[in-house]
Amino acid sequence: EDQVTQSPEALRLQEGESSSLNCSYTVSGLRGLFWYRQDPGKGPEFLFTLYSAGEEKEKERLKATLTKKESFLHITAPKPEDSATYLCAVQNSGYSTLTFGKGTMLLVSP
């Protein structure tokens, strides 16, 4: 059974204080690892897809990396508008469904 564990559960940062979110996974054949951002009461917003170990993707202040066992979402000099829950999900090579972690709730204070 595919499993995704995200840490920490919650993270509070000051504006400009860089940090990283962790996503550990076990999957029988990784087809892809996905990062989403979710604002309260809304649907997840797609950020990145990573397919193989060593791959990196960047978007504004966010950078996602992937190893064989985990992925990191690095946030550089965050702003209050980066406050949201960040979800990690894996896709099994045999299926197209996503298995999600519980998410990391990020709060960036001005």
By CB atoms closer than 10 A (0-12, 13-18, 19+), residue 9 is exposed
Prior bond of 80 cis (ω within 30°): no
Whole-angstrom Cα distance, residue 88 to residue 43?
Answer: 14
Task: Pick from 30, 62, 65, 103 the residue near other proteins by CB under 8 A.
Answer: 103
Task: Pick from 49, 55, 63, 72 the residue near other proteins by CB under 8 A.
Answer: 49
Q: How far is the CB of 48 from other proteins (least distance, A)?
A: 9
Binding mask 3-42 for other proteins (x = CB under 8 A): -x--------------------------xx-x-x----xx
Q: Characterise 71 by phi-psi region: left (phi > 0), alpha (psi -120 to 50), beta (else).
A: beta
> What does each C-alpha distance from 15 to 2, 12, 80, 108 come to in angstroms?
35, 10, 7, 6
Ranges within 72-91 binding other proteins (CB under 8 A): 87, 89, 91
Give the interface segment with other proteins, choosing from 12-20, 54-62, 66-74, 101-109 (CB under 8 A).
Answer: 101-109
Q: Which residues bind other proteins (CB under 8 A)?
A: 4, 31-32, 34, 36, 41-46, 49, 87, 89, 91, 95-103
